[in-house]
Amino acid sequence: MGDIERIIFIYSAGLALVGIFDWYKRIKEVREIRLNKTAILILSFLPVLASLIILYILRNQASFDVVDNFIYIVFYLSIGLVWIRLGLVLIFLFFDLSWIDDVLNNNNKAALFAISGAYIGTALIYSGANIGDGPGWWCVLFAGGLGLTAWILLGILIDKVTQVFERITVRRDINCGIRTGFYFLASGVILGRASAGDWTSFSMTILEFSAGWPVLILALLTIIIERYYMKVSRSQEDEHNYLFNSVFLGVLYIILAVFSVVIQPFPENPSYGSGLKPY
C-alpha cells in the first residue's frame, strides 16, 4: 500500500466510522419520539446489509490483489461506506429527499421506502465497480462514478416528468415511495453491472459502460407508470390503495434488472490472466 493509499485509507476509515456513528446516534435520538418499530428496524439494518453486499463482492469478485487481503478489503469497504453517505448527500441536493428531515424528523413512510432503495442502490453501484481486476482504487471510483452520475441524471429526468419526489415528500404517497425505492434498487443493479469488469483504460471503461443501456428502458417504464398513477390520483380521492400493484411493479423492476445483468457477460482483460500488467 503506497503513501496515497494510506492517506485515503485513514481518511475514508475515519469518515466511515463517523458516518456510522452519526447514523445510529440520530436513530436513537428520535426512535422513542417519532419513529415506529418498522422504520427503526429498516434504518438500523440498512448499513449492515450494504456492508454485507460490499464485503461479499470484495471477498469473491474483486481484483486478484484484494480478495485475500484483509487490509485492502477494509480499505475498499471504508471507501464504500463513505460512497453511500455521499450518495445520500446527492439525493438531498438533487432530489430534495432527506433521510434526516423526511424520514427521521417527519416520520414520512413514503420517504423511508425511497431512501432505503436509494441506500442499497448506491451500494450496488459501488459494489459493481469493484468487480473485476484492476490497478487501483482510482479505477473503482471512475467506473462507479459513471454509474452514480447516470443514476442521478435519470432520477432528475424521471422527477421532471412525474414529480415523484414532491409526491413522496409533500403528499406522502406511500405507494409512490415503494415504486421509487424499487426503481432505485433495480437501477442500482443495472448500473452496478455497467460499472463492472476488468480494467483496461478510461476510454474502454466508458465504452463498456454502455452495457447499462437497459436502465434507459427501466427509466422509461418508470415514467410511464408514474404518469399513469399521477392521473389516477387526480381522479380519485384515495391514492393510497394500490399497495399490491406497487409491490408487483417493484418486483418487476428487479426481475428486469437481474435479467439484463444475466444476459451480458462481464468485460475481461486477458492481460490479467496471462500474468502481465495492462498498465
Dump pLDDT digits (tens) for 32-74.
Answer: 666 677 888 899 999 999 999 999 999 998 888 899 899 999 9
Among 249, 242, 197, smallest CA distance to 223 is for 249
Give the helix ranges, DSSP H, for 61-173: 70-95, 109-129, 137-162, 164-169
CA–centroid distance for 97 within its chain = 14
Radius of gyration of the chain (CA): 19
pLDDT over threshold 70, residue 102: yes
What is the phi/psi pair of residue 90, to 5°? -65, -35
Q: What is the pTM of this model?
A: 0.91
Which residues have C-beta within 8 Å of that of residue 90, sequence separation ≥ 6? 148, 152
The b/e string for 234-254 (b: 16+ C-beta within 10 A; e otherwise) is eeeeebeebeeebeebbeebe
- Provide the pLDDT for residue 114: 96
Mean residue pLDDT of the chain comes to 89
Q: What is the pLDDT of residue 276?
A: 42
Residues 182-232: pLDDT tens digits?
A: 999 999 999 999 999 888 889 999 998 999 999 999 999 999 999 998 887
Residue 170 CA from chain centroid, whole number? 23
